[in-house]
Amino acid sequence: MGRHSRILQPIVDHEPVSNGHDDLIRALYQEFGSSLMAFVLKLTGHDRQWAEDVVQETLIKAWRNAGKLDRQPEMLRAWLFTVARRIVIDGWRSRSARPQEVEELESDSIGVPDESEKTLAAMIVYEALRNLSPEQREAVQQTYLRDRTVNEVAATLGVPPGTVKSRIHHAVRALRRALQERG
């Protein structure tokens, strides 16, 4: 028998009572604690606090099931590692099932987006559109704002597609000039 049996032998020979459970947990921790911790650290993405919680929960489950455990060291090791892996899996599942907790911000520190730039730009574009001829404005509104094709706009207005293209071309140039003048 190896070093495992020397440590666990006093517990193997008799059915544990409350004191035996405590001895079993001490022996399990002494024998498997560091390898179990290393295993759980990998599973938790090196989250030490979570890993310590998992090892503790694993040992508590061993304590609760002390009367049912197979006391052979290799069986105990397999049982502990399986229980720890299941606890971590449950932890990952519950973490992904609930939203990430975020720190609550003070209302004074919450930034409100400044919409003044957008408003100013919209006013400038609106003013520039008002300076177009009614035909040019209609062509721009139909094609750009209502997302219609040149052929659809031509059919709606009763003019050839080339006329619509020409109106759009001149309107875009006029808008560009007006916007450049306004900065």
Give the tens place of pLDDT for each residue, 78-98: 999 999 999 999 988 888 777
Contact 73, 35 (CB under 8 A): no
* pTM of this structure: 0.45
Q: Please give the domain boundaries of the chain with CATH numbers for all domains.
A: 20-96+116-181 (1.10.10.10)
How is residue 113 annotated by DSSP? -
* 145 has a pLDDT exceeding 90: no
Given pLDDT bands bounded at 50, 70 and 90, which one contains residue 10?
very low
Give the tens place of pLDDT for each residue, 14-69: 344 445 667 878 888 899 999 999 999 999 999 999 999 999 999 999 989 888 88
Given pLDDT bands bounded at 50, 70 and 90, which one contains residue 180?
confident
Q: List all residues 6 or more positions away from 91 whose beta carbon is below 8 Å from its beta carbon.
A: 44, 50, 54
Question: How buried is residue 74: exposed, middle or buried, by Cβ count under 10 Å (0-12/13-18/19+)?
Answer: exposed
Higher model confidence: residue 41 or residue 172?
Answer: 41
So what's the pLDDT on residue 8?
Answer: 46
Instruction: State the amino acid at position 97 in one-letter form.
Output: A
147: left (phi over 0), alpha (psi -120 to 50) or beta: left
